[in-house]
Amino acid sequence: MWEAIESNRRRTRIIVAGMAVLLVGLGALIGGAVAPRGGGLVAGVGIALLLWFILWLVAAFQGDSIMLSVAGAERIEHADAPQLFNVVEEMVIASGLGKMPEIYVIPDDRPNAFAAGRKAETRVVCVTSGLLRALNRDELQGVIAHEIGHHKNGDPALMILMGVMLGAIVLIAEIYLRGNFWGGRRRSSKESGGLEILLVVLAIVLAILAPVLAQMMYFACSRRREFLADASAARFTRYPEGLASALEKISVHYQGGIKANKVLAPMYIVNPMQALAAVGLFSTHPPTDDRVRILRAMGGGVGYVDYDAAYRKITGRAGCIGKRTLAADTPTSAREAAPAAAESVDERVSRSRDVGNLLGRLDGFTMMQCACGVGIKVPPGASWASIPCPRCGRDNPVPKAQPSASAKADEPLTFRRQGKGWQSFQCSCGASINLSPAFEAKSKTCGRCGRTIDVH
């Protein structure tokens, strides 16, 4: 169990090797077709491998940060979202993963989550704010366990490797086909032998087929890893129902087939592009429906053996988990279900408010609290000096950093803290600055104007 769960490892290896062969073969054939006599074959292979290596370098070292910034993800700390942070910690302990991943939140109402990061130091778990709003603690635990399962099984690294090969194949095929289309006339006017024509025809056929084949391989691998992560999640949480009910809740949000970022789609826990039952060779995720049914068919056990049995029963296919993992698995039973009280409206409201506050802080709102207990959010850059409370009518001054007593022009601003909780105030440039309960430094630098503000 402390080893990563092993799916038919041989099968994964065959798929990866198949893709590599496809890449090299495509390079060789295209090289041969372009320059049959000038060692084009070797040059083609060389170019294909070089392209693959460059893409891999970019993806492996910059890919995560590019992806997170494209998605608008913000890194959070324990004080920002204690429950999310705690749940991740719990799953790191349960999985024996070792190092805590960094946690990011994407301000997006659609519930979803993904795991990224090739190495232990760069691991990331990312959730949308919609997920935090929609799920209760057990469900959130299930989803986080699924993402930690991806990390434990080494999926991000594998998917980067395969994704990059897929990208290289598509790129080479595209360049060749376009080049052929525009420059075809020139080449055909030259004298060419039968072998060369055959090479060109083969190259064109492969350039058309290879991207499709590669995509199918990539997706087959991706679907498989989803099942494995589900099995891991059941094992870690000892509570498959948590993930099952989370998947149900999440999939309801996508039944309209909402638009989403194509690049990120395969990474998410539920594919946002994949409406309803549209599942075939070209889907990155197995049908959510099947995943839920498998999790619910585990019959009180939570071991890999139980998941494998449920998988075989529901899908009718051979098992998805490797023999060695199954043999090393110890029988484990689910923890008893927590009293399944229907979620009260209060709980949903307070969760929603927590998420709203989290997003507000991430967006740079100034958060203040009226003496009567009403929370007031001031948008960044607002110039109001004070705001009347909507409930009790008290006038609440917007907290601002004050110039220090010996007022010189460049003298740093000061802000006096009240209490230990979350606190926010405005810099004199209007930018809002948030202090977390964990903030202990003596000063804070304004993100917009760069002024240093002393905090007492």
Partner 1 sequence: MTGAVIAVVALGIGLFVVIIVLAVAGMYNGLVRSRNETKNAWAQIDVQLKRRHDLIPNLVETVKGYAKHEQGTLQGVISARAAAVGAGTVDARIAAEGQLTQALSRLMVLTENYPDLKANQNFLGLQEELTSTENKLAFARQAYNDAAMTYNTKTETFPSNLIAGNFGFKPEPLFQVTDEKQREAPQVKF
Binding of residue 47 to partner 1 (CB under 8 A):
no
Angle (CA) 339-343-347 rounded to 5° is 120
Asked if 94 interacts with partner 1 (CB under 8 A), we say yes
Cα four-point dihedral sign 13, 19, 22, 28: negative
Stretch that binds partner 1, among 93-101, 265-273, 276-284, 380-388 (CB under 8 A): 93-101
Q: Smallest distance from the beta carbon of 339 to partner 1, in angstroms? A: 7
- What is the DSSP annotation of 91-119? HHHHHT--SPPEEEEE--SS--EEEE-SS
Q: Between 86 and 180, name the residue whose CB sits nearer to partner 1.
A: 86
Residues 279-338 that bind partner 1 (CB under 8 A): 328, 330, 335-336, 338
User: Using CB under 8 A, which of the segments 20-28, 83-91, 278-286, 395-403 binds partner 1?
Assistant: 83-91
- Smallest separation (angstroms) from partner 1 to the CB of 90: 5
Does residue 421 interact with partner 1 by CB under 8 A? yes
179 binding partner 1? (CB under 8 A): no
Candidates 18, 46, 47, 83; binder of partner 1 (CB under 8 A) is: 83
User: Taking CB under 8 A as the criterion, which residues in 212-231 touch partner 1?
Assistant: none
- Which residue from 247, 254, 252, 289 is spatially nearest to 269, judged by alpha carbons? 247
Q: What is the DSSP string of 290-337?
A: HHHHHHHTSTTB-SHHHHHHHHHHHH-SPPSS-HHHHHHPPP-BPPPP
Q: How far is the CB of 344 from partner 1 (least distance, A)?
A: 12
**The two three-digit tokens of residue 433, written as one number:** 């600055």
Q: How far is the CB of 333 from partner 1 (least distance, A)?
A: 10
Collapse the DSSP code of 284 into the 3-class scheme (helix H, G, I; strand E, B; otherwise coil) and give the result: coil
Q: Please give the backbone phi and psi of residue 68, each rounded to the nearest 5 degrees, phi first.
A: -65, -35
Identify whether the C-beta of residue 437 lies closer than 8 Å to the C-beta of residue 420: yes
Alpha carbons 205 and 26: distance in angstroms, whole number: 10
Q: Select which of 147, 174, 241, 248 is catalytic.
A: 147
238 makes contact with partner 1 (CB under 8 A):
yes
CB of 318 vs partner 1, minimal distance in Å: 26
**Residue listed under structure tokens 């070209």:** 282
Residue 157 Cβ, how far from partner 1 at the closest point, in Å?
21
Q: Sign of torsion, CA 210 216 220 225? A: positive
Give the contact letters, 335-374, x = binds to partner 1 (CB under 8 A), - = no.
Answer: xx-xx-----------------------------------
What is the amino acid identity at position 168? Answer: A
Question: Under the criterion CB under 8 A, does residue 82 sit at the interface with partner 1?
Answer: yes
Segment near partner 1 (CB under 8 A); pick from 85-93, 196-204, 279-287, 397-405: 85-93
What secondary structure does DSSP assign to 408-455, as a single string?
-TTPPEEE---SSS-EEEE-TTS-EEEE-TT---SEEE-TTT--EEEE
Q: Is 96 in the site for partner 1 (CB under 8 A)?
A: yes
**CA torsion angle 240 242 243 246 (round to 10):** 150
The interface with partner 1 within residues 383-402 (CB under 8 A) comprises none
Footprint of partner 1 on residues 120-139 (CB under 8 A)?
Answer: 137
3 state DSSP class of 375: strand
Q: Does 93 bind partner 1 (CB under 8 A)?
A: yes
Does residue 86 belong to the site contacting partner 1 (CB under 8 A)?
yes
Number of shown-chain residues binding partner 1 (CB under 8 A): 23
Coil vs helix vs strand at 387:
strand
CB of 424 to partner 1, least distance (A): 15
Residue in the structure block whose two tokens are 């098992």: 319
CB of 77 to partner 1, least distance (A): 14
H/E stretch holding 124 reads strand 124-128
Our answer to whether residue 147 is catalytic in this structure is yes
Q: Which span sits near partner 1 by CB under 8 A: 86-94, 157-165, 265-273, 390-398? A: 86-94
CA distance 214 to 139: 35
Residues annotated as catalytic are: 147
Binding site for partner 1 (CB under 8 A): 1-2, 82-83, 86-87, 89-91, 93-96, 137, 236, 238, 328, 330, 335-336, 338-339, 421
